[in-house]
Amino acid sequence: MIRVAVTGAAGRMGGRIVTAIKEADGLELAGAVERPGHDMIGQDAGLIAGCGASGVKISGSLEEALANADVLIDFTFPEVTLKNLEVCARLGKQVVIGSTGFTPAQRAEAEKAAAKIPVVLAPNMSVGVNACFKLLKEAAGILGEGFDVEIVELHHNKKKDSPSGTAVRMGEVVAEALGRDYNKVANFHREGMCGERTKEEIGMQTVRGGDIVGEHTVYFIGMGERIEISHRAMSRDMFARGAVRAAGWLKGKAAGMYDMQDVLGLK
């Protein structure tokens, strides 16, 4: 049995992950953590998630939640994730990270911790989005320079980072396939007399509102034709199932940084 602890256990993703662990074969919930001072500390993690009593109380201490766990699933925020990674590296626990919004410096810090323990870090745990990454590489390779690339993402009004981690990864995949540097060609802002679109830029547009779970479209816009590769998430459950699958996959893996493409055998 693989014993899993979950951070952000009372959050939007945390509750779905607690439920997905309950539904998975070969894994069990061994710990749950929330931000110190959170109202749900001391409550049963399964009851808070709505999937029935789990016998695991939400703790305010990561060390306490990890005491009986092999692996941590962390969907919180980059600053919190990096602190949690440090603790896991010290205790020799495996980690699955779904948090998004890492700066390049924060990403480098995560890579450093992953030299000591096996870590899966992915901005999107769904099979569909990971299939889209492959399709985008192929589409960009076929369409080449003749098509303008624009990426639009839509999410709920509580999302804190922009653009989404998934949109950034989509931009990186397309840029790499076209021989461009995403950090140089991503254009996040057009306003006023900003001039004509350059051939190289990749436009990154963000929409926020209501309860949209997550939608991403990459437009390849040519002269007289347009290709759109879209993914729409209808619930958070497939993200949670992907994270749980990654937690099972980590068993026996060497220290290092992995992503969902590794877990799904798409590399």
Ligand X SMILES: NC(=O)C1=CN([C@@H]2O[C@H](COP(=O)(O)OP(=O)(O)OC[C@H]3O[C@@H](n4cnc5c(N)ncnc54)[C@H](O)[C@@H]3O)[C@@H](O)[C@H]2O)C=CC1
16 binds ligand LZUJQKHR (CB under 6 A): no
- Distance separating alpha carbons of residues 90 and 213, to the nearest angstrom: 35
* Integer CA distances (angstroms), 181 to 177, 193, 205, 263, in order: 10, 25, 18, 26
33 binds ligand X (CB under 6 A): yes
123 binds ligand X (CB under 6 A): yes
Catalytic residue among 22, 38, 134, 159: 159
Q: Which is nearer to ligand X, 60 or 143 (CB)?
A: 60
154 contacts 227 by C-beta, under 8 angstroms: no
Known binding residue 99? Answer is yes
Known binding residue 215? Answer is no
Catalytic residue among 155, 231, 251, 253: 155
Q: In what order do the strands lie in the sheet with 214-221?
A: 186-187, 202-208, 148-155, 214-221, 226-233
- In the residue annotation, 158 being an active-site residue is answered as no
Known binding residue 162? Answer is no
In whole angstroms, the minimum distance from the beta carbon of 216 to ligand LZUJQKHR comes to 7
Q: Reduced to 3 states, what is the DSSP secondary structure of residue 135?
A: helix
- Distance separating alpha carbons of residues 28 and 115, to the nearest angstrom: 26
Known binding residue 13? Answer is yes
Known binding residue 78? Answer is no
- Tokens for 207, please give them: 């929409």
Q: Which is nearer to ligand X, 35 or 116 (CB)?
A: 35
- Distance separating alpha carbons of residues 107 and 40, to the nearest angstrom: 30
Residue by residue, DSSP assigns 77-95 as: -HHHHHHHHHHHHHHT-EE
The C-alpha angle 68, 69, 71, rounded to 5 degrees, equals 170
Site for ligand LZUJQKHR in 138-197 (CB under 6 A): 155, 159, 164-166
- In the residue annotation, 112 being an active-site residue is answered as no
Site for ligand LZUJQKHR in 40-99 (CB under 6 A): none
Q: Pick what 33 binds: ligand X, ligand LZUJQKHR, none; C-beta below 5 to 8 Å, kind-dependent.
A: ligand X
What is the DSSP pairing of strand 148-155 with strand 202-208? Answer: parallel
For ligand LZUJQKHR, the binding residues (CB under 6 A) are 100, 123-124, 155, 159, 164-166, 214, 233
Residues annotated within a binding site for NAD(+): 8-13, 34, 98-100, 122-125
Question: Which residues of the shown chain bind ligand X in the complex (CB under 6 A)?
Answer: 7-8, 10-14, 33-35, 38, 75-77, 80, 98-101, 122-125, 161, 165, 239
